[in-house]
Chain A
Amino acid sequence: MKRRRYLRGAGAAGLVGLAGCLGGAGGGGETPTGTGTPTGMATPTGATTGTDMPGGTLTIATYASFTGKGTAGTWLKGQFEAEHPGVTVSFVTPENGVNQYIQRAKQGAPIDADLYVGVNTGELVRADRELDASLFAPVESQLDRASTVKPNLRIDPKGRAIPYDTGYISLVYDAHQVDAPGTFDALLTPAYENALITENAQQSDTGRAFLLWTVIAKGENGYLDYWSSLVDNGVKVLSDWEPAYNAWLDGEAPIVVSYSTDQVYYHGQGVDLQKHQVGFLDGQGYANPEAMALFADSPNADLGRRFMDFALRPDAQAGIAVRNVEFPAVEGVDPGPEFTKYAFEPPKPVTFTYDQLAGHLSGWVDAWARQIATK
């Protein structure tokens, strides 16, 4: 597809290295202003060209859409294998994601994978809640580049899960029909009656992020009242992102809870960007970092850590961002002007840390779901 090629071109441009564009987009907390340009952007040095490296297979468990034609996973595999002769990267994509490995560990079944790519904070909390021994090994102190990850994305105090990219959950709205609400409270006004579609926090990443965002905005003791008013104003809570976004595209409501990268998919000739406006609330957007983690019993721990360091390299970060349509997790990486122009970072990114979610997440989600579904 044309759009696809376009983006790929943008990815190559990222190698030239225009630092600082991204971090400065929203006037956010950590503007690198050029200083953050890591060395070695133009040349994939890393210098890990396999001399000290035994061959072998690195098995990466991930979600299905990370692999296959034209994806970040396939691209990473090609790059990593080219730099590490004798190494093969293979992907497994269990339907139930990281739950599969939590359950395997619980039952004493073999893990059969070295790395998990795509774990988020909530899943990490769940894994620790379910298991006595940690599913993942601490790696942060052993990675050369872990310190380059943006501080506000570092989700794991135990240094196991290392973010490689992040999405910002925001509103996406049709400006022909509504103005940007701007604040959480505005969504309760008659102007936004029946205007919002979101997703079920019990099963959808975006839906959960939006719910947690309301917990941040309205407080642990206030979010349920807020939702009660939201329901009175006609919010729709659909199963998952795809049906919700599809209903929004078909005009069932003018606003949907989605990603702040929405326009990256739509810019180009003849596209009406007014229909794809990104709206933050109270100046915030909820960061949903995706992280990678090394399984505690991986027999290829060294190779796994090399892959993680590789994925944090600026060229790899730009490549992931463009192909996964998510923001880089590392400071000062530039995925290219096209991405930067159409992907918006919230002025005030917010997210719950591991410590804040542990012990609370299930309770918050349950209370919310019960309130919505009570009949």
Chain B
Amino acid sequence: MTAATRRAERLALPAGLALTLGVLLVVFYFPVGRVLAEAVVRAGRLTLGPLLAVLRDPFYTGAAAGLLRDPLGVPAGVLGWLRAGAPPPRLGLFGFTAYQAALSTLASVALGLPGAYLLARYEFRGRATLRSLTILPFVLPSIMVAVGFLAMFGQRGTLNDVLRGLGLGPVHLLFTLQVIVLAHAFYNAPLVTRLVSAAWETVDRRRLEAARSLGASPAAAFRDVVLPAVRPALLTAALLTFLFTFMSFPIVLALGGLRLATVEVWLYARVQDLRLGEAATLATIETAFTLGLTYVYLRYEARQAASRAGGEPPARRPLFDGWATLRDPRRLGLLAYGAVVIVVFVGPLVSLLVESVTGPGGGFTTAYYHFLADQQLAAAAGTVKPLPAIRNSLVFGVGTLLVAVPMGVVVSLVATRGGRGSRLAEALLSAPLAVSGIVVGLGLLQSFVFGTTVFGVRLVLVGPVAIVAAHAVAAYPFVARNVTPALADLDPRLAEAARSLGATRLRSLTDVELPLVAGALLAGAAFAFAISLGEFSATVVLAEGVKSVTMPVALERYIGNRSIGPSLGPATAMGTVLLLVTAVSFVAIDRLGGRWAP
């Protein structure tokens, strides 16, 4: 190896870090900071007044508002509350948002964990495909989830049809907290399944066998060997679910209604009314909370003893074992889980497909697909065409992968380097997870689309490059969140040995460490691709006219298109296309990726 190559290799990682920080600064910190700064500026002066006013307002912070309003009155207040029989305290908008996010996280874990167990430990026909398809809910625009849920869980939905057939009363799920929690689980349980099953598959068979041979019961072996290996992934998934559902927005109002509003609903309303200072105030409190939570979590994760994953995973058991299947409680449990999956996940997705071929009168129709074909063939300017939208989505997705994966790996290296402040650095580098999409979109609009004057020149940045950059920034934390725990679990002696044999840091990374965490890398890359496919708020801001629209943007435009009546039919047809393209992409990604993974 020439000296020049070595020097280049030595510089590659610092350069990568500098580039990552540069992209983050331009595409994230600057635009978002500009929006949030409004929170503490009124009439050109710095002030904490608006922030405190929100925190002191029981509408926002419920019973906790008293802490700031009248700290001395708190003991008396608590006493009065106890005397009243400790009724549920008033939550306020922030409290309710956290409460529904916590419930949603529990539901997502409860629905996702058995799936991870099934995919990691059992073999059956179509397992790999099923695993690939778990990504589907993740890319679906919320209005399509609302359509699917309405058709599945509505008064006249499939579930109630079945229940009535069985002589059971109808259930009224819509417009309740339960349906919001269920919709959040629909989105996020697959996240739990994917992250945890990837970790579960790295459990070393030999350690498990050693534990058993030393007399450990299956439960004890699970507790001591499997659980430590999957816990980081499980907690990461739970954290991500909490963050997402805390900042969840359109699905809440589409299925639940304004009575169940979250902070994000309020934030959006402020932005719509251009009261950007108030919006920034809410966003700042929200971000302080989500980022603080992320930091606390990362501290916790770093304290966990590494479990030294790697090695050969145990062989998967066949899911079906003839009649014996019916005598095995675990397999029976999994079959029952399958029934739940059919209702909660397959039901809404299939309902969406059915809606795309159902006319207003309930009969079969291909009108909505004809609509798509008509749009494709139309000559009128401003027509959003489906095929370019598919192409753009795939091109941006691949572009996002190429940018987000190296960014994520670089951030993971920073996070696993250890040392003072690395948790804080990691938390700040994970900030795109913790900032509301509405704020990011607003920041990009103000900074990129309106342009920023640099040395007297107005720089405007829109179109494909800006879109890929924005997608990559939204996506790389997923790569980092997957790769960091896996890298941390690696035996540091491996890298040290490579370095002592003369490998540069880059060589050691690409030739030794990354191949060992290929599973995690692949899982992160898959999410990066999915984030790009599903991203809407930044894309719609940065798209130039109809040239760079993606599938979700096209779908949204078809929602507003009433040329064949006030029907969501055309959007459901586009939603079906989105699902098919995503499904095919992910089966391909997992098949291709499976060849590289150990």
Contact = CB atoms under 8 A, between A and B. Distances in A.
Given A249-B360, A369-B269, A69 B274 contact: no
Interface in B10-48: none
Contact of A373 (B90, B175, B258, B367): B258
B253 interface: yes
B70 interface: no
Contacts of B96: 375
Interface in A98-147: 99-100, 102-104, 107, 109, 126, 130
B380 A74 contact: yes
B43 to A, nearest CB: 14
Interface stretch (A33-41, A42-50, A236-244, A329-337): A236-244
B381 A91 contact: yes
A65 B561 contact: yes
Contacts of B361: 270-271
A245 interface: yes
A317 interface: no
Contacts of B265: 200, 202, 373
B352 to A, nearest CB: 12
B254 interface: yes
A67 B382 contact: yes
A103 B450 contact: yes
B516 interface: no
Contacts of B381: 67, 74, 77, 90-91
Given A73-B382, A243-B143, A236 B563 contact: no
Contacts of A240: 253-254
Given A252-B155, A373-B259, A96 B560 contact: no
A95 B543 CA distance: 10
A362 B269 CA distance: 10
Interface in B233-291: 250, 253-255, 257-259, 261, 265-266, 268-269, 272-275
Contacts of A65: 557, 560-562
For the side of the interface on B, what is the size category?
Answer: 35 or more
Instruction: Name which of A4, A91, A96, A242 has the most chain B CB atoms within 10 A of its CB.
Output: A242
Contact of A109 (B143, B266, B451, B564): B451
A68 B151 contact: no
Given A68-B380, A68-B384, A103-B450, A242 B559 contact: yes
A109 B450 contact: yes
A266 interface: yes
Nearest to B563: A70
Contacts of B206: none
A102 B155 CA distance: 43
Contact of A243 (B146, B384, B563): B146
A68 B451 CA distance: 27
B450 A237 contact: no
A91 B563 CA distance: 18
Interface of B: 59, 62, 90-93, 96, 143, 146-147, 150-151, 154-157, 174-175, 250, 253-255, 257-259, 261, 265-266, 268-269, 272-275, 360-361, 367, 370-371, 374-375, 378, 380-384, 445-446, 450-451, 458, 540-541, 545, 557, 559-566, 568
14 contacts: A68-B382, A73-B382, A92-B545, A104-B450, A202-B273, A237-B257, A240-B254, A242-B568, A252-B155, A265-B562, A265-B566, A362-B275, A373-B261, A375-B96
Lowest 5 A-B CB distances belong to which pairs?
A239-B253, A67-B382, A202-B269, A69-B378, A109-B450
